[in-house]
């Protein structure tokens, strides 16, 4: 009688694959998901084992990849940014005190989570940082200018001003009319040792008269549209404006408005239904409607470009 041959135990469907699947569904969802909604999507998409789902979610929470959030009595599972997180090719955001082994060329920014906007957990913050990186890599004149400096409108946590300076801008100014935001921005600037290079001011953008080689504005579309002419007026020739906080159906109109002030859209990226763009000042007058229309079509053409992950 032949003895039964023992075969290797079949792996329990790689738990790493499960975790990546769970995380991918959370990241790709345009809306926050409750635990029940997430389970329904997983059960209808190769996940047939309720226990495996719970294990994958638990592991992601323990590793700080996911976290529970609460709003109006409902709990949700969302991606966690309470750990070192790469938000662009060069920039890593991390909570203060956390150890991160950086690679060559990395820019590591300590950001303390507070009440103000700009911790890195919203797509528009990540898109704005990527936009700054793109603007400075494409337009080297901004960094070479003797008076090269940045203005961050509605600075919030101060992360965009910090990122701009650590990427090479000589000095930056962050403005915000909210006292809490100014206080938190100042603390984050101190965390990164940049008090001598970044100033935080209680000033409305309409009161700014100096010109800047780089302007960042993570603001909603109506505000950006209203401020367009003033932002254009305080941008140095051949400088750049980095804009996020707009939706995909708003970008054409905004690019068209800026093109009237000699700006060309040179970069754009999407995350979910948010978009970030870089507008470079051409230094010369845009010739008529044809140039403007061409820029807008260029934005549409590049809509397939995905967020850096």
Give the pLDDT confidence of 6-15 residue by residue, as tens digits: 443 444 457 7
Examine residue 269 and state whether it is found in any structural domain, yes or no.
yes
The reported pTM is 0.80
pLDDT number for residue 188: 97
192 and 290 housed in the same domain: yes
Domain closes at, from 49, 80, 111: 80
Q: Are strands 274-281 and 235-247 parallel, antiparallel or unpaired?
A: antiparallel
Examine residue 1 and state whether it is found in any structural domain, yes or no.
no
pLDDT number for residue 282: 87
pLDDT number for residue 121: 86
Contact by Cβ (8 Å): 91, 48: no
217 and 271 housed in the same domain: yes
Examine residue 237 and state whether it is found in any structural domain, yes or no.
yes
Contact by Cβ (8 Å): 177, 204: yes
Helix, strand, or coil (residue 46)? coil
Domain count along the chain: 2
**Residue 295: pLDDT band with limits 50, 70, 90:** very low
Rounded Cα gap, residues 144 and 158, in angstroms:
23
pLDDT number for residue 297: 46
pLDDT of 204-259, one tens digit each? 999 999 999 999 999 999 999 999 999 999 999 999 999 999 998 999 999 999 99
76 and 183 housed in the same domain: no
**Residue 42: pLDDT band with limits 50, 70, 90:** confident
199 and 53 housed in the same domain: no
186 and 62 housed in the same domain: no
177 and 271 housed in the same domain: yes
73 and 128 housed in the same domain: no
Examine residue 309 and state whether it is found in any structural domain, yes or no.
no
pLDDT of 144-175, one tens digit each? 766 789 999 999 999 999 999 999 999 999 99
Contact by Cβ (8 Å): 271, 123: yes
Domain closes at, from 80, 95, 111: 80
Looking at 192-287, list the stretches that DSSP marks H as alpha helix, in order from N- to C-terminal side. 221-233, 251-259
pLDDT of 133-146, one tens digit each? 999 998 878 887 66
Residue 97 burial by Cβ neighbours in a 10 Å radius (0-12, 13-18, 19+): exposed
Nearest to 123 by CA among 276, 304, 299, 300: 276
Examine residue 53 and state whether it is found in any structural domain, yes or no.
yes
- SS3 assignment for 57-83: HHHHHHCCCEEEEEECCEEEEEECCCC
Host domain of residue 131: 123-304
**Residue 300: pLDDT band with limits 50, 70, 90:** very low
Domain closes at, from 48, 80, 112: 80
Report the percentage of the chain scoring pLDDT > 90: 55
Query: What value does the mean pLDDT take over residues 106-125?
Result: 88
172 and 46 housed in the same domain: no
Nearest to 174 by CA among 158, 187, 190: 158
Examine residue 118 and state whether it is found in any structural domain, yes or no.
no
Examine residue 256 and state whether it is found in any structural domain, yes or no.
yes
180 and 57 housed in the same domain: no
pLDDT of 43-93, one tens digit each? 876 655 788 888 888 999 898 888 898 888 899 998 888 889 999 999 999
Residue 21's alpha-carbon distances to 11, 34, 38, 88, 309, in angstroms, are 17, 16, 11, 22, 15
Examine residue 148 and state whether it is found in any structural domain, yes or no.
yes
Query: What value does the mean pLDDT take over residues 114-124?
Result: 84
Query: What value does the mean pLDDT take over residues 287-299?
Result: 40
Question: Would the pLDDT of 291 be above 90?
Answer: no
76 and 127 housed in the same domain: no
pLDDT number for residue 202: 96
Give the least confident one: 42-51, 72-81, 259-268, 286-295. Answer: 286-295
38 and 171 housed in the same domain: no
193 and 286 housed in the same domain: yes
Q: What is the CATH number of the domain that holds 156?
A: 3.40.50.150
Give the distance between the most distant pair of CA atoms in the chain: 95
């Amino acid at each position: 009688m032949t003895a039964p041959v023992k075969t290797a135990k079949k792996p329990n469907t790689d738990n790493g694959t499960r975790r990546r699947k769970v995380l991918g569904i959370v990241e790709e969802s345009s809306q926050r998901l409750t635990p029940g909604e997430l389970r329904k999507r997983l059960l209808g998409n190769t996940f047939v084992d309720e226990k495996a789902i719970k294990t994958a979610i638990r592991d992601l929470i323990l590793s700080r990849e996911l976290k529970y959030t609460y709003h109006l009595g409902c709990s949700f599972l969302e991606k966690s940014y309470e750990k070192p997180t790469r938000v662009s090719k060069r920039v890593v955001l991390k909570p203060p005190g956390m150890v991160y082994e950086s690679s060559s060329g990395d820019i590591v920014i300590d950001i303390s989570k507070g009440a103000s906007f700009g911790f890195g957990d919203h797509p528009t913050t990540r898109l704005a940082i990527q936009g700054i990186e793109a603007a400075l890599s494409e337009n080297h004149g901004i960094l070479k200018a003797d008076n090269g400096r940045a203005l961050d409108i509605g600075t919030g946590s101060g992360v965009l001003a910090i990122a701009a300076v650590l990427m090479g801008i000589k000095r930056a100014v962050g403005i915000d009319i909210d006292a809490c935001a100014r206080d938190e921005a100042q603390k984050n600037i101190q965390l990164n040792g940049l008090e001598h290079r970044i100033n935080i001011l209680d000033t409305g953008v309409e009161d700014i008269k100096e010109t800047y080689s780089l302007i960042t504005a993570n603001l909603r579309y109506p505000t950006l549209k209203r401020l367009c002419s003033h932002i254009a007026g305080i941008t140095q020739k051949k400088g750049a404006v980095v804009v996020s906080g707009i939706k995909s159906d708003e970008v054409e109109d905004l690019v068209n408005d800026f093109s009237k002030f000699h700006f060309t859209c040179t970069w754009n990226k999407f995350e979910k239904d948010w978009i970030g763009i870089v507008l470079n000042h051409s230094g010369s007058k845009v010739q008529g409607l044809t140039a403007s229309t061409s820029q807008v079509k260029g934005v549409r053409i590049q809509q397939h470009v995905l967020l850096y992950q």
